[in-house]
């Protein structure tokens, strides 16, 4: 199995459990508050590690990062490329989660937005034929990572989330695969229909394969004129916080194991379905054995 190098965020997540999401000017009393380690980079890394892959995370934590580093290491993620920034705080996300599973999150950037170019280049230097890279939208200098990975000829999956002005200008046509959800695709393409979104993404970023996730309706894989749908597994969902990242991590692990993208996406869909039946971020991500046992 190839190694996976994740360029991504590490956060502390605070989830407010609400009876409903408030409208503007309204107040809602939370029924519970939970705290966990999260961030797209952390979640994807743990998911890929639990799927059986060798994963190295390139990121940064603040002076308060001991808990995050311990949980990542305990989950099997290699953290020797995670920098400590004692003068900063680890990034934080406040998640508002309603009983109907609607949610929104507010991110407070932290140390993870201050990874040095030297740290990126040191990791990229090791990325040859035996590595697969993953990049999320919280990474500073993401354009540099994309170009450097392309020069090295190493495959790179880019998840432009969250989409912000810098991300919109990334040279994603140099990536191997672009993975995003419909909201992110809508922001980049100004299209509502999923097929129109995929067509517009191919036109804007010729070359990469496209994974468009649809939540409870599964996902699309599109490459070189071929398009296939991956259905989701129907479950009783209680928390979708880390579902997309679990999907991405298991997809990466499948690619690292030599699977065709469609096959890897089927495995990812099964893992994400298990994830949404549990609360939390890292703790909700299933192991490979659990995914296999669930069928």
CA distance 42 to 26: 33
Residue 104 belongs to a domain? no
Pairing between β-strand 219-223 and β-strand 32-38 as defined by DSSP bridges: unpaired
pLDDT in tens, 51-104: 999 999 999 999 999 999 999 999 999 999 999 999 999 999 998 989 887 888
Residue 102: per-residue pLDDT = 85
Contacts of residue 215, Cβ cutoff 8 Å, sequence gap at least 6: 181, 182, 232, 240
Give the separation between CA 230 and CA 180, rounded to whole angstroms: 14
Evaluate whether residue 290 is within a structural domain.
yes
Task: Provide the pLDDT for residue 180.
Answer: 96
Q: Quick check: is 95 in a domain?
A: no
Residue 239 has pLDDT above 80, yes or no: no
| Interatomic CA distance for residues 30 and 163, integer angstroms | 28
pLDDT, greater one: 97 or 281: 97
The residue-averaged pLDDT of 221-231 equals 94
How many domains does the structure of the chain reveal? Answer: 1
Tell me the CATH number at 217: 3.40.1190.20
Read off the pTM. Answer: 0.93
169: in domain? yes
Task: Say what the pLDDT of residue 294 is.
Answer: 81
Per-residue pLDDT, averaged over 103-123, amounts to 93
Give rounded-to-5 percent helix, strand, coil for the chain: 40, 25, 35
Residue 26 included in any domain: no
Q: Indicate if the pLDDT at residue 134 is higher than 90.
A: yes
How high is the mean pLDDT of the chain?
A: 93
Q: Is residue 72 part of a domain?
A: yes
CB neighbourhood size of 224 (10 A): 8
Q: Tens of pLDDT along 260-271?
A: 999 999 999 999
What are the tens digits of pLDDT across the range 169-207?
999 999 999 999 999 999 999 999 999 999 999 999 999
What would the mean pLDDT of 278-282 be, rounded to a whole number?
80
Answer whether residue 62 is part of any domain: yes
Comparing 166 with 83, the larger pLDDT belongs to 83
**Residue 235 near residue 270, CB atoms below 8 Å:** no
Instruction: Tell me the percentage of the chain whose pLDDT exceeds 90.
Output: 78
pLDDT at 293: 86
Q: Is residue 15 part of a domain?
A: no
Full residue range of the structural domain in which residue 284 is found: 3-10+40-90+111-294
Give the per-residue pLDDT at 1: 76
């Amino acid at each position: 199995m190839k190694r996976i190098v994740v360029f991504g965020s590490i956060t502390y997540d605070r989830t407010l459990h609400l009876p409903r999401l408030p409208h503007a000017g309204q107040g809602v009393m939370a029924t519970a508050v939970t705290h966990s380690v999260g961030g797209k980079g952390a979640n994807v890394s743990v998911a890929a590690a639990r799927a059986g892959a060798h994963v190295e995370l390139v990121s940064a934590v603040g002076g308060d990062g001991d808990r995050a580093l311990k949980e990542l290491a305990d989950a099997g993620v290699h953290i020797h490329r995670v920098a400590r920034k004692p003068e900063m705080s680890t990034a934080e996300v406040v998640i508002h989660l309603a009983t109907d599973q609607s949610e929104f999150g507010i991110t407070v950037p932290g140390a993870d937005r201050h990874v040095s170019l030297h740290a990126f280049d040191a990791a990229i230097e090791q990325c040859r034929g035996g590595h697969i890279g993953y990049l999320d939208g919280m990474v500073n200098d993401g354009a540099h990572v994309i170009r450097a990975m392309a020069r090295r000829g190493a495959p790179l999956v880019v998840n432009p989330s969250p989409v912000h002005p810098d991300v919109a200008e990334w040279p994603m046509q140099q990536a191997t695969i672009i993975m995003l959800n419909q909201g992110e695709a809508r922001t980049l393409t100004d299209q509502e229909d999923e097929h129109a979104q995929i067509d517009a993404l191919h036109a804007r970023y010729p070359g990469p394969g496209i994974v468009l996730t649809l939540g409870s309706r599964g996902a699309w894989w599109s490459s070189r004129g071929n398009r296939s749908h991956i259905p989701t597994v129907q479950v009783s969902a209680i928390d979708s916080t880390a579902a997309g990242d679990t999907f991405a991590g298991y997809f990466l692990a499948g690619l690292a194991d030599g699977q065709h993208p469609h096959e890897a996406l089927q495995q990812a869909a099964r893992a994400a379905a298990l994830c949404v039946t549990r609360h939390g971020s890292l703790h909700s991500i299933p192991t490979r054995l659990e995914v296999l046992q669930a069928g």
